[in-house]
Amino acid sequence: MISIITAIHNQLEMNEIFWENLKKYTHYPFELIIIDNHSSDGSKEFFIEKGATVIANRANYSYPYTQNQGIKIASNDIFAFLNNDIIVSPNWDQKILDSMEKNQLDVITVCGIERVESLGKTLSLGRRWKLIKNLTGFIPKTKKLLTAMHYLMYGNWESFSAKRYKQFKNKVVEGFVGNSVIFNRKALDLLGLWDERIQGADWDLYIRSKKRALEFADIKPCHIALDVFNHHYIRLTQKAKPPVFADAASIIKLEEKWTKEELALYLKDNLST
């Protein structure tokens, strides 16, 4: 069983899309832990109704803070940290766990618009998604429109996902895509919790996994599963204009934690955007 941890602030229609596809396309039984950052549009109540475990915050907190809240009450040894503004692919969890086993990985992410098998393909996907966003830019992002945008991008989602899986089964590349991060209890024990000072916590996690791999060789750096593609409505959350983080005063930049030399060393082969 997997513990899925997701933070939200409003975006009810996006949350409905997220839930519907999560329920439809997740293979194994799962517990869903929702960290609600003081939603006012019924999103908290929606997930309670669906049987999720909901942590109700009284303000909007940063990504790493909320993910650690989820970890502390999770029942399982596999943690999936999923953005709410994504659509998962069919059997995403089964394929990810299979890839982790085949490639002896303890921390892994999906691929997506942010990064796939090559820079050229990644740029091509990015241009296509940008075009779709520009064409629909002035239309309110209703559930119907968000679903239509997804169809315009991929056509038949199940066929698109099946084609990628057939082409890239169990193939991985070092790096990360931050909208869907999966790691096990071993990775948690070796790398620790998310660093609550770093809003770009996915970058920090990758750096820590790379550093640990080089220094101790008891874990591999984070890798991207090329056969599991989750769609991400990139920057949808920022455009919803959520409140300033309640813990904003304690947040530092990545460059304040890691030196330029460390960033150059640990990120030199990573093409994530």
Domain total in the chain: 1
pLDDT tens column, 178-193: 999 999 999 999 999 9
CATH number of the domain bearing residue 255 = 3.90.550.10
d(CA 95, CA 218): 24
d(CA 48, CA 184): 26
Enter the DSSP assignment of 88.
P
Give domain status of residue 272, yes or no: no
pLDDT tens column, 64-90: 999 999 999 999 999 999 999 999 999
Average pLDDT value for the chain: 95
Give domain status of residue 273, yes or no: no
| Distance (Å) of CA 103 to CA 89, 124, 192, 206, 219 | 20, 28, 22, 17, 12
Please give the residue range of the domain that contains residue 218.
2-267
How many other β-carbons are positioned within 10 Å of the β-carbon of residue 74? 20
Give domain status of residue 92, yes or no: yes
pLDDT higher than threshold 70 for residue 272: no
